[in-house]
Amino acid sequence: MQTDRQTDTDRHGQTDRQLDIQTDRQLDRQTNIQTDRPTDRQTDRRTDGRTDGRTDGPTDRQTDRQTDRQTDRQTDRQTDRQTDRQTDRQTDRQTDRQTDRQTDRQTDRQTDRQADRQAGRQAGRQAAGRQAGRQADLNLSLFQT
């Protein structure tokens, strides 16, 4: 009987202990889970609220400023490029016009000079021809007399 009692006690004792431990663990887990969840939620909200208010505000502002600056720079660059192109085109056109005018004037002068020379030569030839004709007429009239 003693052996049976010891065996029962040992068996039941171990079994009871194991059951108690398991039950305690399960109860502790459930209790811990239940108490942890609301506490975690509140802590998370407080932390998120502080973090959102402090970190996101300046970060958003900084990001907005950076974005605005980048946009402004890009716009400025594009405007500068367009202005430069327009200025270059205008300068090129003006330079071309001036060059064309100068070239045209020079060409006109050269053409006029050449034309004058040719006209002068022809006039000279004609005058020389007339002179020669007169001289011949004079010689002839002297010879006939």
Q: Give DSSP secondary structure letters for the chain.
A: -HHHHHHHHHHHHHHHHHHHHHHHHHHHHHHHHHHHHHHHHHHHHHHHHHHIIIIIHHHHHHHHHHHHHHHHHHHHHHHHHHHHHHHHHHHHHHHHHHHHHHHHHHHHHHHHHHHHHHHHHHHHHHHHHHHHHHHHHHHHHHHH-
Reading the chain (145 residues) residue by residue, the pLDDT tens digits are 455 555 555 555 556 666 667 666 776 666 666 665 666 666 666 555 555 555 555 677 778 888 888 888 888 888 888 888 888 888 888 888 888 888 888 888 888 888 888 877 777 777 777 877 788 778 877 777 6
C-alpha span between 5 and 15 (Å, rounded): 14
Task: Name the pTM for this structure.
Answer: 0.26
Residue-level pLDDT at 28: 66
